[in-house]
Amino acid sequence: MNIKDNIKLVFGNNFEVKGHSFGFPVSVSGEVVFNTAMTGYPESLTDPSYKGQILILTYPLIGNYGVPSYEYDNTILKNFESDKIHISGLVISDYSTDNSHWKSNKPLSKWLIENRIPAIYGVDTRMLTKIIREKGVMKGMIVNDDKIPDEYVEGNLVEQVSTKEKVVYGNGKYKILLVDCGVKNNIIRRLLVRDATVIRVPWDYDFTNDEYDGLFVSNGPGDPKTCTATINNLSKAIEGDKPILGICLGNQLLCLASGGDTYKLKYGHRSHNQPVIQNGTNKCYITSQNHGYAVDTNSIGDDWSPFFTNLNDNSNEGLIHKSKMIFSTQFHPEASSGPTDTDFLFDKFIENVIKYKKG
């Protein structure tokens, strides 16, 4: 590994820390966020929801189990959540130069360099996390060799990560139309094992006249209010009777499509240990999460109820329609990485699809 010392992380408030480079020697800008998960960096780095972000991992040792190989199952990569790395840059405390795992195919550093992703280690990530918790997420830069990058402008990140054409997976009994706003591979996997044919379409695809048994709205990056085409299409779908499930960004888009509102969280939820409670019950679940925006529960209409609530900050974690087969979650029931406690929600969705098909 070629270690360089002329690299630093600069926050939007001009606070900076110096460290060592173990990625591609380029300067980038982005929104600086943190994730407190202890494992799962191959999945996190390839999660499209991280598009445009410089990711701080708070777990102190990263890279110790390397990076798995690129293997496909049903044309879907088995060990990753998309076909490429989506983060803009990586910040960690200590990099493990000697990786050891039976599935390891290459070191993390080599993978980052191949994908032209800058990375810095040797910094106090806990201290950086405390700054973000106090000040909120902010723009920042990873600066290599004192070359200042262009200022980060978010724009419509969903458009950048969504599929550009219709793609069909599987040949199952239930026809699921998946609106790709930055979908994770494991969402598709969890639908395929439930006898579904998954029809993946672009974020702005007009599906209002298509034939399908159930509608799925995926996760994705950025501000949900930039997805006006998706919101307009969803508002028409909500008027119908077909089952709908939204995850993460999909939760926010369903809220906006039904006349509700969303807002930006101070520092987001990005971890494997977010506790949520199912409203109206005493059932609590530990969930995997990755989002920076949330639904304003006070804005939802009379036809909707909060489905889950975050036990850390009482923010909305899902919606459920009072009379139709429509529900959503802010967390990730498909996990990957993270706990699989809420995988049963895919069963609930397919059960709704079966009810719809039976009339």
Residues annotated as catalytic (active site), given as ranges: 248, 332, 334
Residue 231 and residue 253 in contact, taking contact as beta carbons nearer than 8 Å = yes
- d(CA 106, CA 159) in angstroms, rounded, equals 31
Residue 158 and residue 222 in contact, taking contact as beta carbons nearer than 8 Å = yes
Tokens standing for 167?
């793609």
- d(CA 311, CA 102) in angstroms, rounded, equals 37
**Short-list 193, 309, 335, CA closest to 251:** 309
Q: Is 280 in a helix, a strand, or coil? A: coil
- d(CA 96, CA 87) in angstroms, rounded, equals 20
- d(CA 273, CA 275) in angstroms, rounded, equals 6
Residue 279 and residue 47 in contact, taking contact as beta carbons nearer than 8 Å = no
- d(CA 222, CA 216) in angstroms, rounded, equals 19
| Neighbouring residues of 188: CB distance < 8 A, sequence distance ≥ 6 | 76, 169, 178, 198, 200
Bridge-based pairing state of the strands 326-329 and 318-321: antiparallel
- d(CA 33, CA 64) in angstroms, rounded, equals 22
Name the residue type at position 244.
I
Tokens standing for 66?
């390397």
